[in-house]
Homo-oligomer: A and B are copies of this chain.
Amino acid sequence: MATVKQPSNPEANPRVKAVFDDVRATRKTDFINNLWRSLAFDPSLLETTWAEVKRLMATPTRLDPLTKELIYIAVSVANSCSYCVHSHTAAARAKGMTEAQHAELLAIIALAAKTNHLATALQVPVDDVFDVNASSS
């Protein structure tokens, strides 16, 4: 099921072809996953989305590649995005995530969800020391 038809021959559009070529070159694979095939219905949305993903997730930055995938999984779980949980868990594995690290990631996500709900239910007032404008440093 889907809400947008994937173009049957997406690379007939040169803008789509350019993005798909860059995905293949950047990831060193021939595989183009469904998110990009679905976004191909609108070349502009495809281009801007891929540019941002490439810049942050497929380019060396301050945070190491695996840490970035763990953060991505955490947000995707909390936002209940089934597709993203699948694709970024696969990406994290490809970047070296062990089963033990995966289990610990899940335990932390679950604990954060638990205390998020407790703090919201209690409506705990934020401590003054957590206000960055109040700190002396």
Contact = CB atoms under 8 A, between A and B. Distances in A.
Interface of A: 1-5, 31, 33-35, 38-39, 41-42, 44-45, 48-49, 52-53, 56-57, 61-63, 67-68, 70-87, 89-90, 98-127, 129-133
Contacts of A44: 103
A100 B56 CA distance: 13
Copies in the complex: 6
A interface, over-half SS: helix
A41 B99 CA distance: 8
Given A79-B80, A90-B130, A111-B114, 9 more contacts: A1-B131, A62-B104, A70-B71, A71-B105, A72-B111, A80-B81, A84-B116, A90-B129, A109-B118
